[in-house]
Amino acid sequence: MSSEGRSWYLKTPGGDQFGPVERELLDAWLHEGRIDAKCSIQHNGWNDWRPATEIYPHIGDVEQAFTAGNVFGVAPASEDVDANPFASPVDGDGVWPYAPSDRASAITPGMREALAQTRPWVTFLGIAGFVLSGLSAFGFVVLLVVATVTGAVEPLFPMFPAAFYALIFLLPASFLFRYGRKLGDFLRNGQSRDLEDALYAQKSLWKLFGCIAALMFVGYIVVLLSLLTMAVFG
């Protein structure tokens, strides 16, 4: 069986189906307690669904680390009154055998798939922003050189918009690129901190757009008031 590409499907006991996904993501779902012995798995080229235990013979060991329906991987309460009910599940040697404790287990397969489909677009927009910013900066340099060599003042006027666009494109591009990069890290590693970094980059992007919108709104108000004043007192 090939484990490359998005060729794996998961069906829960309730009949919900997810996929196609990569084998790495399917393995992550197993380690997060989302796949149990009652689930079924299918791969491109198979004629029917197969029990999850056929692909993951050790699935019973994984189920022992998770309570039924507990996607957060919190160990069940023990009769020992001194036991910590919030401790991470461990194996017989006291070692957590499957995943780091900061794995983002609350993310559903549908959420992961949406993030995976979002990542290439935001990465593309980030790269496009860097290219546009570079072109604007290059135009600024060209205009500056022309104005310096010829001594003409006309090239000076487009220089300011060129510098403005270079800055406007650069800031969103940096946030978008970081957002896409951290999404990729999260999808590969499943670490909560990577998803948090991605969301912080997204928050910074929306904050930047909000500030730009507010400045544009104030600018429009100033222009309208100026025009009104000129019309009344001019």
The answer to whether residue 19 scores a pLDDT higher than 60 is: yes
How is the chain split into domains, by residue range?
Answer: 1-102, 109-233
* Mean local confidence (pLDDT), 38-59: 89
The answer to whether residue 105 scores a pLDDT higher than 60 is: no
Q: What pLDDT, on a 0 to 100 scale, did the predictor assign at position 155?
A: 66
1-10, 76-85, 134-143, 195-204, range with the lowest pLDDT: 76-85
- Owner of token pair 């197993």: 30
In 10 A of CB 185, how many CB atoms? 16
In this prediction, residue 232 has a pLDDT band, given cuts at 50, 70 and 90, of confident
The answer to whether residue 139 scores a pLDDT higher than 60 is: yes
Q: Between the CA of residue 30 and those of 16, 41, 63, 101, 119, what are the distances in Å?
A: 16, 12, 9, 15, 23
Q: What pLDDT, on a 0 to 100 scale, did the predictor assign at position 121?
A: 92
The answer to whether residue 75 scores a pLDDT higher than 90 is: no
